[in-house]
Chains A and B, each alone.
Chain A
Amino acid sequence: MIEIRFHGRGGQGAVVASKILADAAARENKDVQAFPFFGVERRGAPVTAFTKIDTKPIRNKAQIYEPDYVVVLDTSLLHLVDVTAGLKKGGWVLLNTPKRPEEFRDTIKKGNLATVDATQIAVRNRLGSATAPIVNTSILGALVRISDVVSIDTLVESVLAKSPVKKEENAKAAREAYDETIILEE
């Protein structure tokens, strides 16, 4: 089973990201689960969401404590949340940031690192507003790049199916993020 944990803030689209990823994996005939854990249901409050993907039926209904991948939609959370908690050996941390992964090596000491400027990609594609961009489809493109949990084509299929508005722009953002991801292996 592959377990992915998303860290975001209410309104950024972490929950929707977890669901789109699950939908994409289901299109590749995997069994899936995706769910949020809400603290308080407020815009801006830290939100955690989970996606599980397996070739066998997934029966475990608990939250994810030992993720293979951690996706951080907002690096300001790094000071609030221990995003690497329980990260599996050889696991990955993907950050939404204009910086290169090397610049985080001192803060995030374990796991492979990857960065993508999902905010800039979202703004460029007019997703959300400049002050509150919706970065989830971009970050998923980057996640697919580092993880191979689904193909980028299947991801785009799900993005097109599940985006309530600006379907093409979301799809384009996912593909651009896929290409623009910077990787630093452990």
Chain B
Amino acid sequence: MRDKPYKPKTWKELPYATITDVPSTFNNTGTWRTVKPVIDYDKCISCMICWKFCPDVAISIVPNPKEGAKFDEVPKIDYFFCKGCGICAHECPVKAIDMVQEESK
């Protein structure tokens, strides 16, 4: 697997078939997003239902950065991949995820 994206310029740089060693993790699907899920960690109960339902594996489980918090681990959204589909917000049992408009740049 390559460690950075790769763009061939001519047919000479192509593999003989459409077999790629460029992982799709380079694909910045976060740019497709118009609304953005934001987790309110005060409400979050670390049930990880959002992590389970994310269709794009854009949510991972990370150690809770807050010292002495109730939960050791919390979900974290990777905005490089998150397409803003809103499934996590829909599924959250305690309404801890808000879909907020992306700011115009």
A touching B, CB within 8 angstroms: no
Which A positions have Cβ atoms within 8 angstroms of B?
none
Interface residues of B (CB under 8 A from A): none
